[in-house]
Structure 1
Amino acid sequence: MSLEEAVRRYESGESSSDWERVDALTDEEITQAVREDPDQEILDEEWFRRATLVIPGEKETT
């Protein structure tokens, strides 16, 4: 999509997502797409075993 088309859609409030295409994806297609994404990180059992819960402190206001 061109910049002009993106701006037009944004200004008109039109979604730039193809939700019909997204809704038509099967779980298997989504899983395959995630596996093929070089930036993905699947949160499996091992990930959760290694994870550490971090609760942020209170915010300081200035």
Structure 2
Amino acid sequence: MEQKITAIPRGCDSARVEQVIVTRALKGAGTENDPCREVIQYWTLDGELIVTRSQYEEGKR
């Protein structure tokens, strides 16, 4: 007898709305030592930098 396996979606475990300022800018000179990349930064509404994300800089404060 063939047993059919059915996945049951769990839905969402949590959700929340958070207000932050998100900036995007190009950075770098386009050289091998300083490649050009998009940098995304997340800031509090009071202007405090939370995190910087880019292809080369993950998680720097």
**TM-score bin (small chain):** under 0.3
Whose strand proportion is higher, 1 or 2? 2
Give the TM-score taking structure 2 as reference length: 0.26
Larger RCO (alpha carbons 8 Å, 6+ apart): 2
Larger Rg: 2
